[in-house]
Structure formats: structure tokens, C-alpha cells
């Protein structure tokens, strides 16, 4: 696979190339770190846990709900739409205004600009096709429906379905783009046209996959029993990893190759916002179930038998969802500060401190008994931070 296909927008291509360069530089530098190569005596159980955090990159997830997923023409059109300010009502905002390619597709702000977007931190979009539920509160069950909302949202691009459909039909370049991506003229039905726009945007975003990291090289070396190569992974990161798997119990929620179980939790981040509280998953589920664009609705290209719709059909709104947020991936953290749904923690160190000094009284959901105050020493905190950094290129 060509890692920098020509349809990649130039800035993203440059970002990807810089990532590749940084990776080889890191490989060169690895031999000259202060601590000499050595491998902790990881137990068989620990090794199995480590191997379960890979391989990387992951297999693409099948998603029949979007008929143009994986199609080159739709990816190319989606890539140009992503940077196109003509999609917003005032023609000033594009997706890339907030999801900036040179910042791992987020914006570096505490919370996003805009009225409704502005209560939450903008998530990066690398590996976004891995998620079953999208948004901090799980408002969406497909990448394309999560791409439709910002177009129509008050706080973001402020379009209406008829307004946006008109703009595509009446802008020759956009109408031609549609024809190229979908093999036919734009439909006369407004909603069908706008949903297709979101599906092309999703086809593009599904190609955004984060580069391999020093953790992945370590994990693969362990998986093939190559201790000599594994020993080049920094000793501090190895000690931090042991904490992550053991005493910290981080891996219970931050599981699998993407370091997230894809579900929701409460880790005691306060959820106050200017006009009250952010209900998190509770409101997310209400919105998901009420949306005509969920997988149970008419716009799912896989129809009623979509295996991906099972979750949506069976999900139940419960009081414990109040104040729960999606467990984030831990890949590329170095490029996605600040952290948490409200951007309240500015650095990896402050996140480690949050877990170390956890206020257990703040945990309201019954399921979160996994978490407890860790009281880490300075050295342990530094090790855990070193491990978290090793998940970035
Ligand atoms: C004003 C800033 C802003 C703009 C413009 C914007 N987004 Fe977002 N985006 C956000 C924020 C904030 C969230 C988190 C929303 C939430 O969880 O409530 C988000 C969430 C997402 C998600 C879910 C990611 C995940 O990890 O679950 C996707 C996908 C996404 N945006 C795609 C887009 C696309 C495509 C566009 C353009 C059509 C766009 N966004 C425009 C700020 C923005
Ligand atoms: C009970 C499940 C759970 C456990 C256990 C857990 N986390 Fe988390 N983690 C979450 C959730 C949920 C969030 C998002 C919370 C929010 O935004 O309010 C999060 C957020 C984070 C973030 C911020 C990522 C970002 O992009 O904003 C980091 C870093 C992190 N956790 C690391 C850890 C570490 C290290 C441990 C172990 C000490 C750990 N987590 C244990 C559920 C968990």
C-alpha cells in the first residue's frame, strides 16, 4: 500500500512524511539513550496482554452502511470536501478548521470554537474508522452520521439540508465531484444528496491511520520471541507499561490495538459546563436513538440486516450513563493535547497525576470500581508518562 497516496491533501502528505522521518530518526536515537538496552522479565501473562495491544495498523473495519467506503473516487472527493469552506453556511469554516491535519486532526484548543461544539474538546481523527460509537457521548453509530452532524449543527457549519443540497447542485465543481464519486448526477432529493456528501467525507476519514510507534516495534518483537530487538524499547517505557497493565489497571478500559474498549466510562473528570452539566453518554444515547440517520434508519446502505446495527437496536438508556464519556484511544497523544472531553488537562503529566491522586468520591457510576487512587511515586509517574509517549510516533 502506498502510504502517501496522491489524493492526500498536500498538508496531510507532508505530515505523514514528517512522521515517517521522525520514526527513522527515533530508531537511530534509540541506541544512544541514557539507559542501556535491557528487557524486563515480563511474565507469560504480561506478554499475552502486551501482544493483545496489536498488531498495528489494524485491519480495516467492514462497514456496509456506507456503500462508497474504500472506493478511491469517493475518498478523493471526500478529501477535497474536508477542506472546502463552501460547505459551511458562511463559507468560512471547513472540517479542517477544527480537525487540522498538522495537529493529528484536532485543534489544540481546550474546547472547540462555536456555540454547541464549544463545550467539548475536538477529538483527533486518526484511526477514526475504528470506533463503533462516535463522539465523546456516543451520539453516532457510523462515521458518516458523525460527519453529517457538523455540517448541520448550529455551533459548527450551520447548514440546512435544503441549503447544502442547493449549494452542491449549483456549484459546478461540487456537482462534478459528486458525479465522479457516485457515478451519477446529484439526486434531486435533498436528504439523499446530503447524506452522500457525508458518506464521501467518511470514505476519506477512514483512510487516516496513525503511524506505527516504538511500542508497536516492541510488541511485534515480543510476539515473535525476539528479545534482543525488544530490549531496545526504553526501560522507562517498559516499567510504565508494567504499571499500565498491572497496578494501574488502565488496560481494562484502554484495551486492544487502539487502546480503547470503545465503550464509556466515568473517571471523575468534572462535567460542569456554563449552563449546567454535560450529561455525556446519557444525552448521546437519547440523540442517537432519535436520529433519522442512525443505522436503524433509511439511509443505512446495508439495510435492516446490517450486523453493525445490532448494538443500536439493543442499547438501553440507563441512569448510569449520565456523565460517562467514551474511553479515548491513547495513540498519538503527544500530538493531541489538551486531554479529556472538556480539554481540562493540559499535559500527559497532568493526566497521570489525575489517576495518581484520583478523587474516588467523584466517581458516580457503579461500574467504575476498577479505578482507585494510585499514589504513584515521582519515578512511577515518569515511567507511566514515558510509556504513554511511546504510543506516539
Ligand atoms: C467548530 C469545530 C468543528 C468543525 C468545523 C468540525 N468538527 Fe468534527 N468535531 C468537533 C468536536 C468538538 C467534536 C466532538 C463532538 C462531541 O463529542 O460532542 C467533533 C467530532 C467529530 C467526529 C467524531 C470523532 C470521534 O472520535 O468520535 C467526527 C468523525 C468529526 N467530528 C468529523 C467532522 C467533519 C467531517 C467535519 C466537517 C463536515 C467536522 N467534523 C467539522 C469540532 C468540529
Ligand atoms: C474505567 C475505565 C478507565 C480506566 C481504568 C482508565 N481510563 Fe483513561 N480514560 C477513560 C475515560 C472514560 C476517559 C475520558 C474521560 C473524559 O473525557 O471525561 C479517559 C481518558 C484518558 C486519557 C486522556 C486521553 C485523551 O485523548 O483525552 C489518558 C491519557 C488516559 N485516560 C490514560 C489512562 C491511564 C494511564 C490509566 C491507568 C492509570 C487509565 N487511563 C485508566 C477510562 C479509563
Q: Which of 382, 377, 344 is CA-nearest to residue 362?
A: 344
Write the pLDDT tens digit of every residue in 287-327: 999 999 999 999 999 998 999 999 999 999 999 999 999 99
Q: Is the pLDDT score of 5 beyond 50?
A: no
Percent of all residues in the chain with a pLDDT value above 90, rounded to a whole number = 79
Residue 28 confidence (pLDDT): 45
Give, in degrees to the nearest 5, the angle at Cα 243 between 241 and 247: 150
Q: Output the residue whose Cα is nearest ligand 1's atom 6.
A: 95
Contacts 24+ apart (CB under 8 A), 152-155: 152/194, 153/114, 153/116, 153/117, 154/115, 154/116, 155/112, 155/114, 155/115, 155/116, 155/117, 155/118
CA distance 105 to 126: 7
Q: What is the mean pLDDT of residues 185-206?
A: 97
Ligand 2 within 6 A of 198 CB? Answer: no
Q: Is the pLDDT score of 8 beyond 60?
A: no
Q: Which of 61, 77, 89, 98 is the best mutation target for the ligand 1 pocket, counting ligand atoms within 8 Å of the beta carbon and taking the most?
A: 98
Which is more confident, 236 or 19? Answer: 236
Residue 35 confidence (pLDDT): 80
Q: Output the residue whose Cα is nearest ligand 2's atom 13.
A: 327
Q: Output the residue whose Cα is nearest ligand 2's atom 33.
A: 250
Write the pLDDT tens digit of every residue in 344-385: 999 999 999 999 999 888 786 555 578 989 999 999 999 999
The ligand 2 atom at the shortest distance from the C-alpha of residue 368 is: 1
Angle at which helices 143-152 and 190-205 pack, to 10 degrees?
Answer: 120
Q: Is the pLDDT score of 118 beyond 80?
A: no
Confidence class of residue 117 from pLDDT cuts 50, 70 and 90?
A: low
For residue 326, cis peptide bond before it (omega within 30 degrees of 0):
no
State phi, psi for 90 to the nearest 5 degrees: -90, 5
Which is more confident, 30 or 90? Answer: 90
Q: Output the residue whose Cα is nearest ligand 1's atom 12.
A: 122
Ligand 2 within 6 A of 365 CB? Answer: no
Which is more confident, 118 or 329? Answer: 329
Residue 153 confidence (pLDDT): 79
Write the pLDDT tens digit of every residue in 66-96: 999 999 999 999 999 999 999 998 899 999 9
Confidence class of residue 115 from pLDDT cuts 50, 70 and 90?
A: low
The ligand 1 atom at the shortest distance from the C-alpha of residue 124 is: 26
Ligand 2 within 6 A of 371 CB? Answer: yes
Confidence class of residue 274 from pLDDT cuts 50, 70 and 90?
A: confident
Ligand 2 within 6 A of 368 CB? Answer: yes
pLDDT averaged over every residue in the chain: 90
Q: Output the residue whose Cα is nearest ligand 1's atom 30.
A: 147
Q: What is the mean pLDDT of residues 132-138?
A: 97
Instruction: Name every residue whose Cβ is closer than 8 Å to that of residue 156 and which is 6 or more positions away in sequence.
Output: 88, 93, 98, 114, 116, 117, 149, 150
Amino acid at each position: 500500500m502506498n502510504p502517501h497516496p496522491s489524493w492526500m491533501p498536500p498538508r496531510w502528505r507532508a505530515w505523514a512524511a514528517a512522521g515517517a522521518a521522525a520514526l527513522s530518526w527515533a530508531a537511530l536515537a534509540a541506541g544512544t539513550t541514557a539507559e542501556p538496552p535491557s528487557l524486563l522479565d515480563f511474565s507469560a501473562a504480561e506478554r499475552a496482554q502486551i501482544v493483545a495491544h496489536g498488531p498495528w495498523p489494524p485491519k480495516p473495519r467492514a462497514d456496509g452502511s456506507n456503500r462508497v467506503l474504500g472506493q478511491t473516487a469517493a475518498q478523493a472527493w471526500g478529501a477535497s470536501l474536508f477542506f472546502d469552506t463552501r460547505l459551511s453556511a458562511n463559507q468560512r469554516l471547513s472540517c479542517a478548521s477544527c480537525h487540522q491535519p498538522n495537529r493529528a486532526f484536532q485543534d489544540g484548543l481546550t474546547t472547540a470554537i462555536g456555540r454547541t461544539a464549544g463545550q467539548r474538546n475536538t477529538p483527533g481523527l486518526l484511526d477514526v474508522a475504528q470506533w463503533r460509537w462516535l463522539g465523546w457521548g456516543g451520539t453516532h453509530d457510523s462515521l458518516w452520521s458523525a460527519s453529517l452532524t457538523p455540517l448541520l449543527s448550529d455551533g459548527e457549519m450551520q447548514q440546512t439540508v435544503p441549503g447544502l443540497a442547493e449549494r452542491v447542485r449549483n456549484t459546478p465543481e461540487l456537482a462534478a465531484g459528486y458525479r465522479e464519486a457516485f457515478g451519477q448526477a446529484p439526486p434531486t432529493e435533498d436528504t439523499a444528496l446530503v447524506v452522500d456528501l457525508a458518506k464521501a467525507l467518511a470514505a476519506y476519514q477512514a483512510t487516516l491511520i496513525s503511524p506505527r510507534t516504538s511500542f508497536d516495534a516492541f510488541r511485534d518483537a515480543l510476539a515473535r520471541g525476539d528479545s534482543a530487538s525488544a530490549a531496545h524499547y526504553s526501560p522507562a517505557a517498559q516499567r510504565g507499561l508494567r504499571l499500565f497493565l498491572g497496578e494501574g489497571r488502565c488496560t481494562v478500559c484502554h484495551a486492544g490495538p487502539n487502546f480503547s474498549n470503545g465503550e464509556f466510562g466515568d473517571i471523575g473528570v468534572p462535567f460542569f459546563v456554563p449552563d449546567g452539566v454535560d450529561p455525556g453518554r446519557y444525552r448521546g444515547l437519547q440523540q442517537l436513538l432519535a436520529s433519522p440517520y442512525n443505522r436503524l434508519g433509511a439511509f443505512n446502505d446495508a439495510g435492516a440486516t446490517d450486523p453493525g446495527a445490532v448494538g443500536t437496536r439493543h442499547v438501553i438508556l440507563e441512569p448510569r450513563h449520565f456523565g460517562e464519556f467514551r474511553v479515548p484511544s491513547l495513540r498519538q497523544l503527544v500530538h493531541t493535547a489538551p486531554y479529556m472531553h472538556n480539554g481540562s488537562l493540559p499535559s500527559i503529566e497532568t493526566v497521570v497525576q489525575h489517576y495518581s491522586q484520583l478523587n474516588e468520591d467523584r466517581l458516580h457510576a457503579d461500574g467504575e470500581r476498577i479505578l482507585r487512587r494510585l499514589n504513584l511515586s515521582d519515578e512511577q509517574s515518569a515511567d507511566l508518562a514515558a510509556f504513554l509517549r511511546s504510543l506516539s510516533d
